[in-house]
Structure 1
């Protein structure tokens, strides 16, 4: 695909088209072509926890993934079989994903934080047949195995004792053939609308759902890489995400290669250290960068003048609201604006700020070309500018490329979000006069206080702009006069002490930063916020605790 250059957002929407080949399969149609045309070019730059850098080419990935596909086929895996991957950010993740795409088997990327009970639930829920796991996690799988029903192909990567019944990743690859032609038989040839992968949702409001995507999903991320990340051939892109979550495939896999760039992987295993990330970015001359706003908040607290970020030319963020003060601090230190975006596990990029748009700090941007995004009220009516509504995607005339197939084995849950010709995201926003969307939060998270409807993100954004606050979660608590009162649950930065004086200071700060009626009348100080294993705040759990109290 040839990247177009548009002077305005309107021109971009008019000119952009996405070519969708018949029976598209990323491994055969993209990776193999890159290996043929640019086999010696670097595809992945990997820096491990010890700081050792290794460069992997497209040709190397082609050979290794063909070998792994053959090895897995020899062990009985076939098209449609589901395989859980727990591989941190090791290069084996990329090899395994491509191998499974070739086989038509269905990867289930999973985070390393899963405990045995989580593994039992997911394996049995998804009828998972295979596991490819980093050796430090094998013990958890072994603990879970007696309670699972379908596992029979077990692969361990890395050093460590190999339990009975397991195969060694590197032995498998070394012994297998590097020739894996595209299958001709329909029973083996996967592509198009066939299942590509399954994500388990974060489970912020209940048990995780199985989000199923088809083989067109990677094509949806061409927009992510080429236009939102603004990638060009020769770029080295870093998205700070773990491979257990969908964001890794947004920024570490499909769209970046289709745009001609290489992927940078920082495989740190311990606690996130902002100064160390900045050093890695400077030493490896990162050109484009994507991270959640929380990471930017930590980075701007460092002395950025001590790091050579001169190669960095484009920055993006998603996952939560970007605080305006962080935007301003980053811009002042680097000269670079931060371009926001919005999507879900169920989608690719839906709304974004692109290079041909003026960023508005705090706005997620405008609808992505190809995504017919509207705001609707509870009655199914379109919302005018300035009025809040649910973010919905029109699908009556066909789903956009990148929208999920549905919640696997849960047709009633799929029907609860896919009806009347629209996909209902469950997220609320409002649109300004220029067509920019401003995210408010999940429908269930909105607070109704004294006739006002208050989104938690805007209050949280105001709170974290104060130097005392590292993280904040805003919820509503029952109030006899107001219906609900705004409550903030706050994690403090070092050197600050909870107390009445600080509470007053934070309340006054919020009144100055945003509309005064939104200030938190209650502030609760905690050591950490309840979160899902993907790091999303569980506001529902905070509300439940408050109701019980």
Structure 2
């Protein structure tokens, strides 16, 4: 593992003497391999759970779950294999066929992890739903995905599902995790069915290209898109976790992502279990003291979290983590949106190790670009491509053609050569929308970036977020990062406002740290701070204070929503919106 020294003023990075050398070639390490099944079959559940039983890991702890009330439940790999077999048996008893769609609507509870893996063991397709969704986002996704089964809690069912589920044709079967007494009409008590099920269910021999996961992602307009992923994606889950998260079997690993999102599935469940690690799960919501206590108590060695959470920890102060023994923590990573340089530097200052940012999308299925242990970190960069992947910057031209941009320091759209294992294979029932994401054998991500002389990529923004002012193309992330460097600013979001003279005027929205007043004096101070570090052409001309910034429930700031509200435009799909102050 690389211990890095970061100079805030120069961004110089000095690797330790034991730094491994960066390579674009895949390793032949057994930690990066799958076992597979006879006949070239591949099943994610087998790779994550069952194959470990014959390798001396049957009695090793796979999951350690902490409830909101501090109860602890553990599952060995053998117990997890039995539990997933029982769930697969339940699906068979319900007369489902392989390929049926199972939707999961619950928080971070062991049963939802078991439902995912058990569905894949049976040969069904699993589609995660975020438990904080309202009734309409749940319904629309289940309709689009042709749900055959819904796994959820009794409370969520009664509050968000019961009044409309029978309007779906055919009506999905409902498995309730926590029935007290008799289940509601038309629902099954999952605990009872599991107790009666066979703990030894044979793993379904899936083709590598059989659908395994259905991840919904929202666009700026229109209905959610169902990104289809296959069982062969597990190959990239394993490889990318080895490089980007530095996972080894002896690690205690905590991914804070909810299983309702792609990160919580790919790197909160599948990848770590494939590596045979012990996975820590916390049911409770974010609380800085609780998080530090859990890191200490579980002796977490690898920690994967979100930039929003990092900024909230920063807001809680540098003294709080000093109360805990975090010496076992050796690798920290972040995903969800770009990680500001200040957060990387803060991690190094407070924990003695930096946060390693990485980039990927629901469509890529796994990490594509990363600051990983074999390379120095440049704070604010996305890093370099995972070995085995071909990444480029492109410019779209006429007739859906593209031009590859080879010059250093050029900004272009991130593109990935099609064919990597975890690449999405379709937008469910939307073939034209899917084809529009590809050109000349490249997947076009819609994200803009630049590449420096060392091959590091730097996020600029979504193609529809980039601001054109006075002939300059400005990425909002660059402006936001400078604002966050000011001690008063907890979070920032930047948009372009139409201006008759310069094209677009840069406006910033900021949420403040405690102890700072949102007054005119601070506004002028922040405007001056931005001009000092960015120059007059790039610095915002207006700053608006807000209690909170609108974010998706996975933590991404919704700039397009700020812009829609500023200009009085339609707000589009808000199904993933977290509560916010307008």
TM-score, normalized by the shorter chain, greater than 0.5: yes
1:98 counterpart residue number: 117
Q: For residues 324-335 of structure 1, what are the structure 2 equivalents within 5 Å?
A: 324-335=341-352
Alpha-carbon spacing, 1:194–1:251, altered in 2? closer, same or farther (3 Å): same
- Does the residue aligned with 1:109 lie in a helix, a strand or coil? strand
Greater mean alpha carbon deviation, residues 201-210 or residues 248-257? 201-210
Measured in 2, the distance between the counterparts of 1:146 and 1:14 equals 51
2:62 counterpart residue number: 43
1:9 aligns to 2:5 (yes or no): no
Measured in 1, the distance between the counterparts of 2:358 and 2:44 equals 24
- Following TM superposition, by how much is the alpha carbon of 1:249 offset from its aligned partner in structure 2, in angstroms? 2.0
Greater mean alpha carbon deviation, residues 20-29 or residues 170-179? 20-29
Measured in 1, the distance between the counterparts of 2:218 and 2:318 equals 30
- Per-residue displacement from partner, 1:267-322 (whole Å, max 9, x unpaired)? 11x4x211221111112111111111221222232412111101101111122222
Measured in 2, the distance between the counterparts of 1:496 and 1:307 equals 28
Measured in 1, the distance between the counterparts of 2:265 and 2:505 equals 39
Q: For residues 110-189 of structure 1, what are the structure 2 equivalents within 5 Å?
A: 110-139=129-158, 140-160=160-180, 162-183=183-204, 189=205
1:391 counterpart residue number: 414
Match of 2:288 among 274, 278, 291: 274
1:352 counterpart residue number: 370
Greater mean alpha carbon deviation, residues 22-31 or residues 374-383? 22-31
- Does the residue aligned with 1:429 lie in a helix, a strand or coil? strand
1:411 aligns to 2:434 (yes or no): no
Q: For residues 12-23 of structure 1, what are the structure 2 equivalents within 5 Å?
A: 12-13=25-26, 21=36, 22-23=40-41
- Following TM superposition, by how much is the alpha carbon of 1:141 offset from its aligned partner in structure 2, in angstroms? 1.3
Match of 1:446 among 452, 462, 466: 466
2:234 counterpart residue number: 218
Alpha-carbon spacing, 1:277–1:357, altered in 2? closer, same or farther (3 Å): same
Match of 1:428 among 448, 453, 457: 448
Measured in 1, the distance between the counterparts of 2:439 and 2:395 equals 14
8 Å CA contact retained: 1:386, 1:431: yes
Measured in 2, the distance between the counterparts of 1:14 and 1:41 equals 26
Measured in 1, the distance between the counterparts of 2:470 and 2:324 equals 48
Match of 2:532 among 496, 512, 527: 512
8 Å CA contact retained: 2:318, 2:350: no
8 Å CA contact retained: 1:88, 1:243: yes
Measured in 2, the distance between the counterparts of 1:70 and 1:255 equals 24
1:371 counterpart residue number: 389
8 Å CA contact retained: 1:67, 1:173: yes
Q: Per chain length, whose mean CA-contact separation is higher, i.e. which structure has more relative contact order (CA < 8 Å, sep 6+)?
A: 2
8 Å CA contact retained: 2:48, 2:275: no
1:294 aligns to 2:308 (yes or no): yes
- Does the residue aligned with 1:326 lie in a helix, a strand or coil? helix
Alpha-carbon spacing, 1:438–1:11, altered in 2? closer, same or farther (3 Å): closer
- Does the residue aligned with 2:493 lie in a helix, a strand or coil? strand
1:482 counterpart residue number: 502
Measured in 1, the distance between the counterparts of 2:354 and 2:456 equals 17
1:340 aligns to 2:357 (yes or no): yes
Measured in 2, the distance between the counterparts of 1:81 and 1:520 equals 51
8 Å CA contact retained: 1:109, 1:243: yes
- Following TM superposition, by how much is the alpha carbon of 1:400 offset from its aligned partner in structure 2, in angstroms? 0.6
Greater mean alpha carbon deviation, residues 400-409 or residues 154-163? 154-163
1:25 aligns to 2:43 (yes or no): yes
8 Å CA contact retained: 1:136, 1:160: no
- Does the residue aligned with 2:479 lie in a helix, a strand or coil? helix
8 Å CA contact retained: 1:16, 1:369: no
What stretches of structure 1 of length at least 5 have no aligned partner? 184-188
Alpha-carbon spacing, 1:182–1:378, altered in 2? closer, same or farther (3 Å): closer
Greater mean alpha carbon deviation, residues 98-107 or residues 507-516? 507-516
Measured in 1, the distance between the counterparts of 2:46 and 2:300 equals 28
1:310 counterpart residue number: 327
- Does the residue aligned with 1:382 lie in a helix, a strand or coil? strand
Greater mean alpha carbon deviation, residues 67-76 or residues 154-163? 154-163
8 Å CA contact retained: 1:204, 1:532: no
Measured in 2, the distance between the counterparts of 1:158 and 1:515 equals 57
1:73 counterpart residue number: 92
2:13 counterpart residue number: none
Measured in 2, the distance between the counterparts of 1:324 and 1:282 equals 26
2:249 counterpart residue number: 233
- Following TM superposition, by how much is the alpha carbon of 1:436 offset from its aligned partner in structure 2, in angstroms? 0.2
Measured in 1, the distance between the counterparts of 2:141 and 2:276 equals 35
Measured in 1, the distance between the counterparts of 2:337 and 2:224 equals 20
Alpha-carbon spacing, 1:437–1:225, altered in 2? closer, same or farther (3 Å): same
1:186 counterpart residue number: none
8 Å CA contact retained: 2:107, 2:258: yes
1:539 counterpart residue number: 559
- Following TM superposition, by how much is the alpha carbon of 1:547 offset from its aligned partner in structure 2, in angstroms? 1.9
TM-score by length of 1: 0.93
- Does the residue aligned with 1:363 lie in a helix, a strand or coil? coil
8 Å CA contact retained: 1:202, 1:533: no
Measured in 2, the distance between the counterparts of 1:346 and 1:7 equals 30
8 Å CA contact retained: 2:342, 2:484: no
TM-score by length of 2: 0.88
Measured in 2, the distance between the counterparts of 1:515 and 1:112 equals 44
What stretches of structure 2 of length at least 5 have no aligned partner? 1-17, 570-582
1:382 aligns to 2:401 (yes or no): no
8 Å CA contact retained: 2:176, 2:189: yes
Greater mean alpha carbon deviation, residues 166-175 or residues 142-151? 142-151
